[in-house]
Structure 1
Amino acid sequence: MDTFGAETNQDRDISDGDHSLERVVIDRVAGISSQQAEDCLAAEEPLEIQLDYGPSGARALKSISVTMRTPGNDFELAVGFLMTEGVVQDVNDIRRISYPHRGDVSDSVESADRKTALPYRSRNNVVLIELETDVTVPLATLERNFYTTSSCGICGKASLLALQTVCPPRRENTTTIQVETVYTLPSSLRNAQRVFDRTGGLHGAGLFSPEGKLLGLREDVGRHNAVDKLLGSEFLADRTPLRHRVLLLSGRASFELLQKALMSGVSIVAAVGAPSNLAVQVAREFDITLIGFLRQDHFNIYNGAARVLGRSTGNG
């Protein structure tokens, strides 16, 4: 099935017309010398996600989320959010995705013909997702904005119990990866982050095969947004659940990111940064291989050590 959704950063060059970047003039200081220079900043703009749902003749329109994001891949971001929140389970749950305030038919997507590669324009800061009439929307879940952020104060036990009510059935995790392959993942992701090269200010999320092949990459100022864009692109291409896939995070591994990995079916999550204690609990509860503090010559395994092959073990 063809992808239907938004444009992909990987398929277009980073240029002066790219709305993911903004050029500014700065004063660059070295020692006591100063000179003016041009710099590139990662763009950050709000995106509102609206949902149109309900039976024919009784449709409802609801704003379900506003997030600060890097412009681009907006449809993937919105769909990835809905998928990882448990609102949609199949690409055919979605009737149409559009920028509703433009009134331009070229800026919308119909699920019937799976059009692709919509251009981004800076005033496209609202995405409308229209669901099919038979899709039931868990409003209570959405209004809670899905359990927790690191500052919301909901306890870990309540978060895990909430996750158990919407997560896919637990499956045996048989995906293995060689230790040498694990070490190659950060450089593969970093080398493909073209916007990061220009700004140094974006998080990256990469999808890999267990053999280390980079299958997809998305960047954003928000860690969760980068993951939603990546998983949303796979959902729209009808490639979920993502069994036997590795998700690499350029930062830390939080509860929310493990929840997103779980909802998409990812088998292995590796993070350059640290996992939280609740992320480790999710990995152990649902048997996701979890790797943290991934560097050139070392990393920690928090769950699934037996599935990371080629290690020599010892007591030290």
Structure 2
Amino acid sequence: MKRDVPSPDSAAGTAEMPAQRTFAVRRWRHGAAGTEVDHLAEEVPVALEYNGISHAVMLATPADLEDFAIGFSLSEGIVEAAADLYGIDVEAGAQGITVRVEIATGAFVALKGRRRALAGRTGCGLCGTESLDEVMRMPAPVSSEATFDPAVFEHAFSALHKRQALLRDTGATHAAGWMRADGELALVREDVGRHNALDKLAGALARGGQEDIARGAVIVTSRASYEMVQKTAAIGAGVLAAVSGPTAMAVRLAESAGITLAGFVRGGSLVVYSHPQRLQIA
């Protein structure tokens, strides 16, 4: 597999396609108009091919696409482990980007047995899903004995905001971060789609292989939807903390998957919806 050691923050885009572009705009502010240069996050079709067969087309920011392919493959259950991924090649074209992934024969046979056409949109978690069984995939319960002082989440979210380079330039991206047991923010990935950002984080974690998953937490700048809980479970993390609220389905899944789900983590407060034992709250 073509691999580079992932940096903690990486959103530079591919060599052929940048993660952001500049546009001349007219801005009106307090009654005065002027011409300025604005930065916009790029959003392009990203086609994922497995062993030469097209599987999914997602709209995503063209940065950290190898991380995205690895994380998507793991969170969607296409492969059981990163070792089943033999090669990844990213190729930019006129219409978008193709990510060609080579996977183990057994994984490919299983994939062909449940192939689906998945047309992704920004923030779309179920687009193209063919059956209710695919939607309601129940992950194995996570095994994590990590505990956290709630105060470390506020510090981690503050650090996350400072390290969102694309958000700072464009105001249009979500981020997912990996917080270690001591509250240190170890990895950050950004994308126009919240699911994509979390897949990129999952891929970065799998590529690095150096983080103690059982003792860390996932933090996200979005709401905590059902799919975000599914992807957190696929990572094996015991805690998902979100700046916004969860859905009822997400809480039910977190409860059954053994995940501590916290929402509205902001302003020195949070709400715990499942498995509060991992947060040191009296």
Task: Classify the TM-score, shorter chain.
Answer: 0.7 to 0.9
C-alpha distance in structure 1 between counterparts of 2:163 and 2:278, whole Å: 27
Amino acid in structure 2 at the alignment position of 1:94: L
Alignment of 1:45 with 2:44, yes or no, is yes
1:112 is aligned to: none
Q: Aligned match of 1:163 in 125, 137, 154? A: 137
C-alpha distance in structure 2 between counterparts of 1:7 and 1:37, whole Å: 34
SS at match of 2:40: strand
Amino acid in structure 2 at the alignment position of 1:255: Y
Alignment of 1:238 with 2:209, yes or no, is yes
User: What is the correspondence of 1:1-316 to structure 2 with a 5 Å cutoff?
Assistant: 4=3, 10=9, 19-52=18-51, 61-99=52-90, 125-135=97-107, 136-143=109-116, 149=125, 162-164=136-138, 167-168=139-140, 170-239=141-210, 242-309=213-280, 311-312=281-282
1:115 is aligned to: none
SS at match of 2:241: strand
* CA shift for structure 1 position 182: 2.1
Quickly say closer, same or farther: Cα 1:18–1:184, change in 2 above 3 A.
farther
Quickly say closer, same or farther: Cα 1:101–1:215, change in 2 above 3 A.
closer
How many pairs are equivalent?
A: 275
Deviations 1:1-42 (A, max 9, x none): x9926975825779xx98111111111111221011111111
Deviations 1:238-292 (A, max 9, x none): 3588222110010101111110110110110000011011110111001101000
Quickly say closer, same or farther: Cα 1:302–1:175, change in 2 above 3 A.
same
Deviations 1:170-220 (A, max 9, x none): 244311100211221211110111111111110000011121111110000
The structure with the largest alpha-carbon Rg is: 1
RMSD: 3.1
Quickly say closer, same or farther: Cα 1:284–1:262, change in 2 above 3 A.
same
Deviations 1:23-64 (A, max 9, x none): 111111112210111111111111000000xxxxxxxx3211
Quickly say closer, same or farther: Cα 1:300–1:193, change in 2 above 3 A.
same
Structure 1: give runs of 5+ residues left out of the alignment.
Answer: 53-60, 103-121
* CA shift for structure 1 position 154: 9.1
SS at match of 1:86: coil
Quickly say closer, same or farther: Cα 1:100–1:184, change in 2 above 3 A.
closer
The percent of aligned pairs where both chains have the same amino acid is 24
C-alpha distance in structure 2 between counterparts of 1:66 and 1:151, whole Å: 10
C-alpha distance in structure 2 between counterparts of 1:74 and 1:13, whole Å: 11
Q: Which moved more, 1:85-94 or 1:295-304?
A: 85-94
Structure 2: give runs of 5+ residues left out of the alignment.
Answer: 119-123
* CA shift for structure 1 position 233: 1.4
Quickly say closer, same or farther: Cα 1:138–1:123, change in 2 above 3 A.
closer
* CA shift for structure 1 position 142: 4.5
